Structure 1
Amino acid sequence: MRLEQLQAFLAIAETHSFQGAAKYCQVNQSTISRQIQSLEASVGAELFHRNGAVSLTLAGQSLLPRAKRICQEWRTATQELSDLLNGHQTELCVAAISSVCCHYLPEAFEQFNQEYPEVQLRVTSLGSDRALKVLRDDLVDIAVVMQNRFLTASSPLVVTPLFQDTIHILMAANHPLSSLERVPWDALARYPHAVFKDGYGMRRIIEEQFSQQAQTLNVALELNTLDAFRGIVRRGQVVALLPQSALLEVQGDPSLTVRSTVAPRLTREVVCVTTEDRLRIPPIRRFCELLQQVVVAQEQLPFPQAV
């Protein structure tokens, strides 16, 4: 059973004529006849009385309401797909790491709203691994995450680089390490650390670096918001290794200071990830473009100076 067979069936039921149905469907009458013959073979019953005026048999009357529903569902589906491909979607969902949520997404959202006021924006702050999972599960349209080629290399994901982030040390202004211009890794190992929870790319980078330096990472507590990091660090001996984009709020705060590590200095790459099919949707494609533009513009702004 094919859709065009049901459409031919409905056209005959409406016009009471094979010739009228052919004109309505813009095909020749022999095509209509073949479609109905095939449909009758599929259902195992005649659908029309053909002696004189064309009318529905009992089997045809039974099929009629269902055929109408099927064809209506198909018209609705094709219209919705057409609307989607032409940019008429109801919402756009983004999962992003916290530093991007705070400093890049607001401006991108503002510009996007001006161009697509009818699209509801939804944003969720998640660690990189979790953000990529919800993207793969079709729960969001875009993930803005720390690059992890093990998780983003496969099709149909499309990865767009946004910026490189240097990782610095956030500490209290009166912390013992604040007297150093560059902090050695063995010195960092002597102090408790506030770190991101599992599932965050930053946690993985830091753990790998301490392991490579043959040092033990002293994890005092796990956090997942930048406000929490600042609040904990300013009160004592705890330090935190954070990306530069997460330290914008530190500038001008006399209770906090930022220092750099000795070599090797850590960096991370932040990327925008979506799928090939989503990039064909105008609002999704446009939001990715706007985010890139916002990042380029904000890279010109001053960051807190790490000694």
Structure 2
Amino acid sequence: MDLKELTAFQTILQEGSFAKAAAKLNYAQSTITNQIQRLEKELGFQLFDRGWEAELTPAGQIYAAEVERLIQHWHYASDQAKAIAREETGTLRIGLLEMLARQIMPEALWRFREEKPQIACHFVIGNTDLIAGELRRKQLDFAICGEPPDLSGLRFEPLHEERIVFAAAKDHPLHQRGGGRLPFQELLPYPMVVGGPTCLYYLHLSRQLARFDSMPILHSVNQISAIPGFAARSPFIGVVLASTPLPDGVLPLAVDWEEHKIPIGLLERRDTAYPSAARKRLIGIIKEVWFNEA
């Protein structure tokens, strides 16, 4: 068997018929049929009940469960051969939170290029919800982001913890109050600028707010790095992550509340059994840079 035969078989499963698989692969239908016939001859059993639709035989159903792993292993072996020859080419697609794109990835990409100059990187910047969706749709090879609420089909490796910070202009009444840490309820009369509902900290903040009778007016911004700009104008309070840079004149508030740590880490699909050498090396470099920064 060869990779074309396995790919033809997998595409038939995905598309539901020989004709649709042929169209997707830009083959004549007879080519797909011949590839499956060769595969069946090599295996020694029939994979499909012939008909208008591609119905698997019982033996074909068992074999289908192993095809994805076989194809991944085939690509892995090919990638390893390229690595040995130092002729690696291709593109890695990485999902990132905005703060990582700014703080970690420039250094990590510089180091990665020193080792693998022929590998291009395509970065998708977004929140955890968006990144997890792209990963599930196989639009990304891996991601460094928060831990999504739904981890079905995904694997998360924590690398770091983020804190939630409340920030306001230095002339804000709460900065003028003096004394020790502010009770959380003293923030409630002031409008807050927060990330959107899919933001890392939104659920934690919502739970905290739900404990009080009164609620602040919440203005949402889907890009956390933009929030400090709103907080520069009193009476707004910006709710950001500790890694978010604050402009001159915007200072964190010392707040007494049930603080939550938010895990940030490596997010991958569980069906990726054989990661490429280039992908493994980039992940390793990201971890090295991150722990050195810490």
1:167–1:243 CA contact under 8 A, matched in 2: yes
Determine if the alignment matches structure 1 residue 272 to structure 2 residue 270.
no
Determine if the alignment matches structure 1 residue 160 to structure 2 residue 157.
yes
Q: Deviations over 1:110-166 (max 9, x none)?
A: 111111111111111111111111001100111221123x322x34x3322111112
Gaps of 5+ in 1: 7-34, 40-76, 300-307
1:1-307 aligned within 5 A: 82-86=77-81, 87=83, 88-148=88-148, 150-152=149-151, 154-155=152-153, 157-179=154-176, 180=178, 181-213=180-212, 215-226=214-225, 228-246=226-244, 249-250=245-246, 253-276=247-270, 277=272, 280-299=275-294
2:195–2:239 CA contact under 8 A, matched in 1: no
Shift in Å, 1:254: 3.4
Residues matched between the structures, number? 222
Q: Deviations over 1:252-302 (max 9, x none)?
A: x43111123203123211111123526621111112111111111111xxx
Measured in 2, the distance between the counterparts of 1:193 and 1:123 equals 31
Measured in 1, the distance between the counterparts of 2:95 and 2:283 equals 13
TM-align CA RMSD: 2.8
The one-letter amino acid of 1:142's match is F
- SS of residue in 2 equivalent to 1:235: coil
Measured in 2, the distance between the counterparts of 1:222 and 1:80 equals 41
Measured in 2, the distance between the counterparts of 1:169 and 1:280 equals 40
Shift in Å, 1:78: 9.8
Summarize the Cα distance change of 1:168–1:260 in structure 2 as closer, same or farther, 3 Å threshold. farther
Q: Which residue of 2 aligns with 1:66?
A: none
1:167–1:266 CA contact under 8 A, matched in 2: yes
Larger Rg: 1
TM-score (norm 1): 0.64
TM-score (norm 2): 0.67
Summarize the Cα distance change of 1:175–1:298 in structure 2 as closer, same or farther, 3 Å threshold. same
Measured in 1, the distance between the counterparts of 2:216 and 2:140 equals 34
Gaps of 5+ in 2: 6-37, 43-71
- SS of residue in 2 equivalent to 1:200: coil
- SS of residue in 2 equivalent to 1:95: strand
Measured in 2, the distance between the counterparts of 1:202 and 1:279 equals 33
Percent identity of equivalent pairs: 15
2:221–2:227 CA contact under 8 A, matched in 1: no
The one-letter amino acid of 1:168's match is V
- SS of residue in 2 equivalent to 1:232: helix
Shift in Å, 1:212: 3.8
Q: Deviations over 1:220-267 (max 9, x none)?
A: 2424140x2122111221112211112xx33xx431111232031232
Shift in Å, 1:213: 4.7
Shift in Å, 1:80: 6.0
Measured in 1, the distance between the counterparts of 2:124 and 2:259 equals 30
